[in-house]
Amino acid sequence: MSEASTAATPATQDHASPKPQSPPRPLAGLRVLDFGHTVMGPCAGLLLADLGADVIKIEPPEGCPTRKLPGFASGFFATYARNKRSLALDLKKPDARAVLHKLAAGADVVLENYGPGTIERLGCGWEDLRAVNPRLIYLAMKGYLAGPYEQRGALDEVVQMQSGLAYMTGPPGQPLRAGAPVIDMMGGVFGVVAVLAALRERDQTGQGQRVAASLYESAAFLMAPFAVGSAMIGEPMPPMPARKNAWGIYDVFTAADGGMVFLGVTSDAHWRRFCAAFGCNDLVEDARLQGNAARSEARDWMLPIVRERVQALSVAEISERAEAANIPWARVGHPADLAHDPQLLAHGGLIDTAVSPLGGGEGMQVAVPGLPLEFGDQRIRTRLQRQPPAIGEHSVDVLREAGFSAADIAALQAKGIVLA
């Protein structure tokens, strides 16, 4: 599909009407206070929410800034806010801290990805909240873990540059960030791993603890095989576009009709089937192409021959032959294509999520990939329970559940502490 709008349909679901869920979800019964913004924090909260936790997004009365991000980041809020409730609370006002502390006393997890020292200045850091709830698991997601850099702010792109990921992605001399916030998301995933481990430990000790995840160390984790590889080959690892390929055919081919298809031939069995499917039987018996290592060394002269034969075909023909030959392949797609992908459609892998265009206009629903998980033979555990909430949509409910009376809530509203 050429236009992202093909993934969207008019929005009809009421924010206040969650869809029913059939099987129980594994984290049902956990309550999470989510101070996340942009990607890393909200992604961690989303994982917990999709797995059944009651995730309460704490945002200022004017709304989380992520709601208004333009361009590349315009889809961040809607993507990571589903299955959460919104409490709009002005933490800059001293009386709001008492509200938050009361909420924390009944919570299992607090997560935040503010810059160093910010949450502490608001009186909601680990030391503040553990005093009101010793069983609390407190997830801090930062740019860096403890060490010389821990007071630095960081961004996904900063640590992609710093860790070597951008170097490995772009051509020589042209470091290039990945085309998605992969480190923000990976930091969120590692944060959830830490939370689940801490919850398991709490089951044994009865005590909560602070756990942390970070951008830089997550990016460094991704670079580990290339650091090891550099030591093994005795020289710096070249970036991906200039790498010495480990396989003879592991490339993108431009089809006769202009589309692009990736083909991967990574074993002798693949090679034989590939040659039969793409008219390369004359290469099968070539003594210079026996074994994967030999084919990798022969890429300079072999690949032009293969390209000429493959690229004479249309995208459909290449796809059909690769599928029939049972070799790894993929059309080079666009994110908007995911809304129509048969694999995602087959097992509830897409969730119709309500969004509002930044420029105004009628709301719509966009098909968004759900969690890439199965429990038994079902993916329905990650189905939509709540659409991304309006600012403060659940403030009254959350405060009432925490023990605030109607008069208490009215007073907080009158002072501008709570928006409802």
Q: What percent of the chain has pLDDT over 70?
A: 92
Active site residues: 184
Q: Which of 331, 359, 379 is the last residue of a domain?
A: 331
Stretch among 80-94, 287-301, 381-395 having the lowest mean pLDDT = 381-395
Shared domain for 196 and 293, answered yes or no, is no
Q: Is residue 18 part of a domain?
A: yes
How far is 382 from 374, CA to CA, in rounded Å?
9
Is 192 in contact with 211 (CB distance < 8 Å)?
A: no
Is residue 199 included in any domain, yes or no? yes
Q: Does residue 236 fall inside a structural domain? A: no
pLDDT in tens, 344-382: 988 778 888 998 887 777 788 999 998 888 877 766 555
- Structure confidence at residue 16 (pLDDT): 43
Asked whether residue 1 carries a pLDDT value surpassing 80, the answer given is no
pLDDT at 55: 98
* Residue 245 structure tokens: 């390929």
Quote the mean pLDDT of the chain: 91
Instruction: Judge whether 344 lies within some domain.
Output: yes
Q: 265 falls in which pLDDT band (50, 70, 90)? A: very high
Structural domain of residue 322, as residue ranges?
A: 260-331
Banded pLDDT at 39 (limits 50, 70, 90): very high
8 pLDDT band (50/70/90 cuts)?
low
Instruction: Judge whether 254 lies within some domain.
Output: no
Mean pLDDT of 229-236: 93
Range list of β-strands (E), 129-254? 137-142, 209-214, 249-254
Query: Given 279, 296, 331, which residue is the final one in a domain?
Result: 331
Judge if 100 and 183 occupy the same domain. yes
| Mean pLDDT to the nearest integer, 406-411 | 96
Where a domain ends, among 306, 331, 356? 331
Same domain? For 325 and 368 the reply is no
Q: How far apart are the first and last CA of the chain?
A: 40
Percent of the chain with pLDDT over 90: 80
Q: Is residue 289 part of a domain?
A: yes
Residue 244's pLDDT band (cuts 50, 70, 90): confident
Going by C-alpha positions, the residue among 315, 312, 295, 317 that lies closest to residue 250 is: 295
What does DSSP say about strands 249-254 and 260-265: parallel, antiparallel, or unpaired? antiparallel
Based on the structure, what is the number of domains in the chain? Answer: 2
Is 390 found in the same domain as 352? yes
Residues 65 and 214 in one domain: yes
pLDDT band of residue 21 (cuts 50, 70, 90) is very low
pLDDT of 204 strictly over 50: yes
- With cut-offs at 50, 70 and 90, classify the pLDDT of residue 3: very low
**Which residue from 60, 54, 187, 165 is spatially nearest to 113, judged by alpha carbons?**
187
Element (H, E) at 301: helix 299-310
State residue 374's pLDDT score: 80
**Is residue 233 assigned to a domain?**
no
Residues 10 and 78 in one domain: yes
CA–CA gap between residue 202 and residue 187 (Å, rounded): 22
pLDDT at 105 over 50: yes
Surface-to-core class of residue 278, CB atoms within 10 Å of its CB (0-12 exposed, 13-18 middle, 19+ buried): buried
Residue 339 banded pLDDT, cuts 50, 70, 90: very high
* Residues 114-128, mean pLDDT to the nearest whole number: 94
Give pLDDT, residue 117.
Answer: 93
pLDDT of residue 363: 82
The answer on 268 and 212 residing in a single domain is no
207 vs 136: CA distance, rounded Å = 7
Nearest to 95 by CA among 411, 407, 396: 411
pLDDT one-digit tens code per residue, 149-201: 999 999 999 999 999 999 999 999 999 999 999 999 999 999 999 999 999 99
pLDDT at 7 (0 to 100): 46
Cα(53)–Cα(401) distance, integer angstroms: 15
Handedness of CA 323, 326, 332, 336 (dihedral sign): positive
- Do 100 and 124 belong together in one domain? yes
Task: State the DSSP string of 237-274.
Answer: PPPGGG---SSSEEEEEE-TTS-EEEEEE-SHHHHHHH
* Overall average pLDDT of the 48-69 stretch: 95
Residues 286 and 196 in one domain: no
Say if residue 22 is in the same domain as residue 54: yes
> What amino acid is encoded at 232 in this protein?
M
Asked if the model's pLDDT at residue 4 lies above 50, the reply is: no
Is residue 253 domain-resident?
no
Residues 323 and 355 in one domain: no
Domain CATH number, residue 118? 3.40.50.10540
Residue type, 107: A
Q: Can you give the pLDDT at residue 382?
A: 56
Same domain, 295 and 366: no
Token output for 21: 């869920």
Distance of CA 140 to the CA centre of its chain: 17
What is the reported pLDDT for 281?
A: 93
